[in-house]
Amino acid sequence: MKEIIWVFLTIYLLAMNTDSFSQGKLPYNDLSKAESQVIENKGTEAPFTGRFLDNKEKGTYLCKRCGAALYHSSDKFDSSCGWPSFDDEIKGAINRFPDADGRRTEILCSSCGAHLGHVFTGEMFTAKNIRHCVNSISLDFVPEILDPGRYGTAIFAGGCFWGVEYHLQKARGVVSVTSGYTGGHVRNPSYQEVCTGNTGHAEAVKVIYDAGQTSYEDLLKLFMEIHDPTQKGGQGPDIGDQYRSEIFYLNDQQKKIAANIISLLKARNYRVVTAVTKASDFFEAEDYHQDYYFNNGKIPYCHTYTKRF
């Protein structure tokens, strides 16, 4: 009975995340017909044909549909089965369900429900004795060493970083979102120190994005739609300087774009209080803050999408 309750609870939480996503109108990545056949219709690509079967680069494998991080390259191994194999997953990234055939266990992205493949145990390929058999077509890959000509960086602060991270992770072209602290005067602050409001830091996120799929301007517009840029000294119920609204620009071009976006909003009668500040040191937050809502099966309590552009 406990197992049945757990399955229904998982389905409910997954539905909540998907419904919230669609209501917020933040699009999944567009899928080709072949990708949709596997990811949405639970098909299987032909063995030994996937682009990541023999990939030995260091990096992170992402969900093709929503961009959530699923597997580290260090957990990939050669099983000679015809599909990419992994003996571990990123914590909280994968959901398991009994397959319709009654024999196998299906694995899905815990963020968006995309079909990935199946998981097997007892084969003794590795010491962990588990094999995630994943369709290449369900995956994207981000190399450990990024091409600076292809990828860009943005840093935003808009209240609790959990919610900002959650919404930006779903945006097309976003490679990774890291929660952290910036804008203060203490090096390597802890969460407890930042919460005192005495370090000067804001809870912020660092976004790495593929410039071929999105732009700094697009991400900045989205940022201004997933938090309230008119609220001073906090965001929603979270009050304090660490929850302020602020754009940390990395170059003059980003500074100019930020000023233009704020001017557009002010012309539409929004009383924007968002500060625009030159970026300084960014300190990554503790591990338990990263991918918070994805790992905990919840949705943000203080960040919702409001169309402003």
How many structural domains are present in the chain? Answer: 2
Which of 111, 140, 169 is a domain's end point?
Answer: 140
Determine, yes or no, domain membership for 306.
no
- What residues pair up with 98 in beta bridges, in sequence order? 105
Instruction: Indicate whether 181 and 129 sit together in one domain.
Output: no
Nearest Cα to Cα of residue 140 among 33, 46, 63: 63
CA distance 244 to 13: 30
92 and 163, same domain (yes or no): no
- Residue 155 and residue 129 share a domain: no
Residue 90: inside a domain = yes
Nearest to 100 by CA among 44, 28, 45, 18: 44
Q: Which residues of 215-245 are buried (b: 16+ CB within 10 A; e: fewer)?
A: ebeebbbbbbbbbbbebeebbbebebbbbbb
Model pLDDT, residue 11: 39
Amino acid 45 reads E
255 lies in the same domain as 181: yes
Where residue 268 sits, what CATH number does that domain have?
3.30.1060.10
The catalytic site residues sit at 133, 160
For residues 159 and 236, the answer to whether their CB atoms sit within 8 Å is yes
In terms of domains, do 10 and 72 share one?
yes
Are 271 and 200 in a shared domain?
yes
| pLDDT at 130 (0 to 100) | 97
In a domain, 98, yes or no: yes
- Say if residue 179 is in the same domain as residue 259: yes
Is 146 among the domain residues?
Answer: no
Same domain, residue pair 261 and 190: yes
Cα–Cα distance measured from residue 105 to residue 132, given in angstroms and rounded to the nearest whole number = 10
16 shares its domain with 92: yes
Spatial separation of the C-alpha atoms in residues 222 and 206, rounded to whole Å: 14
Stretches where the chain sits below pLDDT 70 are 1-27, 145-148
Same-domain pairing of 199 and 127: no
- 77 and 155 share one domain: no
Confirm whether 308 is domain-assigned: no
Q: Assess contact for 223 and 158: CB atoms under 8 A.
A: yes
Task: For residue 64, give its domain range.
Answer: 2-140
Is pTM beyond 0.85 here? Answer: no
* Same-domain pairing of 90 and 158: no
Boundary of a domain, candidates 80, 113, 140: 140
CATH number of domain containing 77: 2.170.150.20
